[in-house]
Amino acid sequence: MATAKAGLPGAQVEALRGVRTTGEAKLDAVQAFTTAVIATRGKVEDADLAALKAAGYDDQAALEVVLGVSLATLCNFANNLGQPPLNPQLEDYRWDGLKAAE
């Protein structure tokens, strides 16, 4: 989705996957907030929300991050349980998660 719908270049997608900066302040702010949402299970610090807003986002965007994290969590849990094969058309986008060295 990041490449097809958002038009992000591959280098930025890889940076996001590796939890590294992308060089784009607004994108990095969303990444930092998303990381905080995941790490705190949604109980982010006021400073985390303030940083997202300082980058130009609003409360709706913050809730959309929470929704995205929750949807990804639900899908991951269901796929881990069911172990379905990856759709062939998505094979080029396969990602097996962060490696220990990253």
**H, E, C per residue of 14-49:** HHHHCCCCCCCHHHHHHHHHHHHHHHHCCCCCHHHH
- Residue 51 located in a structural domain: yes
- Residue 101 located in a structural domain: no
Is the model's pLDDT at 68 over the cut of 80?
Answer: yes
- Residue 15 located in a structural domain: no
DSSP secondary structure letter of residue 99:
-
Tell me the pTM: 0.78
Structure tokens at 50: 């303030």
- Residue 63 located in a structural domain: yes
DSSP secondary structure letter of residue 85:
P
pLDDT band at 44 (very low <50, low <70, confident <90, very high): very high
Amino acid letter at 102? E
- Total of domains in the chain: 1
69 touches 40 (CB < 8 A): no
- Residue 20 located in a structural domain: no
Is the model's pLDDT at 16 over the cut of 50?
Answer: yes
**What is the CATH classification number for the domain harbouring 31?**
1.20.1290.10
Query: Which residues constitute the domain of residue 43?
Result: 25-93
Is the model's pLDDT at 102 over the cut of 50?
Answer: no
